Structure 1
Amino acid sequence: MTLVLIVDDEPLLREELQEALELEDIDVAAAESVEDALSQCAVTSFDAVVTDLKMPMVGGLELLRQLNQDGYPGAMFVVSGHGAESSREDALALGAVACFAKPIDTDDLVEAINNAV
């Protein structure tokens, strides 16, 4: 079974994504910050991480950098409510498989996760 970590500071979005993925038989854990995500990644082998790009304090790009530095082997996906194309390009350069704009088409996300893992 696929295990995915959702990282987003917005509780409603985390819950929405979690429900959508669980309906597709994907196990889900959630983190509300980069620090929380890194702590969970240190003890759990996730198949994929889906992170928001913009969060208070530390954002999704820094999470991607840190996961790369730590040798994280799973697929990484970025979600953004902001239209900053340069940030999406940075995310792809840091190893993100795909970037999704909010509101997220959960069918597209599920398909991308299944293709990547």
Structure 2
Amino acid sequence: MTNVLIVDDEPLLREELQESLELEDFDVSTAESVPDALQKLEGAAFDAVVTDLKMPKMGGLELIRHLNQINYQGIVVVVSGHGAESSREEAIALGAAACFSKPLDIDDLIEVIGERA
């Protein structure tokens, strides 16, 4: 079973993504912030991390940089409600498998995770 960590500061989006992915037989955990995600990453192995780009204090780019430092071997998918193309390009340059805009098409997310994880 594919283990996915969803990192987003929006509770409704976290819940929606979790429910949608669980319906597709993914094992899903959630984190409301990058520090919360880093703590969860210490205690479990995740095949994929789905992260918001912009969050208070630390965002998705900082999370990707940390994942690179610890040689994370899973895939990273970035989801953003903000149109900053330069941030999306930076996320891809840092190793993100994909960068999607909100509102997210869950089928696109499932396809990327299923192909790579």
TM-score, L = length of structure 2? 0.99
Task: Give SS of 1:77's match.
Answer: strand
Corresponding position of 1:47: 47
Gap regions ≥5 residues in structure 1? none
Gap regions ≥5 residues in structure 2? none
Aligned length: 117
Whether 1:68 and 2:68 are equivalent positions in the alignment is yes
Whether 1:82 and 2:82 are equivalent positions in the alignment is yes
* Alignment partners' CA distance in 1, 2:67 and 2:39: 11
Corresponding position of 1:12: 12
Cα offset, 1:43, TM superposition: 1.2
Corresponding position of 1:98: 98
Two-structure CA RMSD over aligned residues (Å): 0.4
Q: Identity percentage over the alignment? A: 70
Corresponding position of 1:29: 29
Cα offset, 1:16, TM superposition: 0.3
